[in-house]
Amino acid sequence: MLNNLIDDERLDSNLLADLKELADNLLLDKSINDAEISITFVGNSKIKELNKTYRDKDEVTDVLSFPIDEELLGEVIISLPRALEQAKDYGHSLRREVGFLMVHGLLHILGYNHKSDADKAEMRKAEEELLEDHGFTR
């Protein structure tokens, strides 16, 4: 389920359809068949508020993820303004950046983390493989 709480024409129906397909494929790749996820796009003030409330960090971040249960696997919240900034900074498309942020958040929900160098390398490899396999190239 994709929720757009920010009015921005760059989140067009083609991009949202691509993201839905990517999320569906990620779940299939991980053998998760009967669960739903929620992806929500917000502005910087909303993600900062959520980051403060749930992580005690009073700052804007790019993505937050919240595991829920087996039926509604979780929710990924993406700051569209931050995604736009990062796409520009990294020299790739908004499509690639929001795809990356969504996959990153979903992998956190599935138990991946980047607390150690080995965990970070494993997560980064999974992210890049999923993105490449589904056409979200740099």
What mean pLDDT, rounded, does the chain reach? 90
Q: Which residue has the higher pLDDT, 76 or 32?
A: 76
DSSP letter string, 54-77:
HH---S--SEEEEE--SSEEEEEE
Amino acid at 62: D
At residue 29, the pLDDT reads 83
Beta bridge partners of 42: 79
Any binding-site annotation on 104? yes
Range of the domain at 36: 2-133
Does any domain span residue 113? yes
Higher-confidence position of 5 and 34: 34
Asked if residue 134 belongs to a known ligand binding site, the reply is no
More confident residue, 93 or 9: 93
Domain count, the chain: 1
Indicate if the pLDDT at residue 60 is higher than 90. Answer: yes
Q: Report the CATH number at residue 42.
A: 3.40.390.30
Within 8 A by CB and 6+ apart from 97, the residues are 83, 84, 86, 87, 90
Q: How many CA atoms lie within 13 A of 90 on its CB side?
A: 16
pLDDT for position 36: 85
Q: What is the pTM of this model?
A: 0.90
What is the band of 44 on the pLDDT scale with cuts at 50, 70, 90? very high
pLDDT at position 83, please? 95
Q: Would you say residue 77 lies in a domain?
A: yes
- Residue 92 among known ligand-binding residues: no
138 in any annotated domain:
no
Position 124 scores a pLDDT of 93
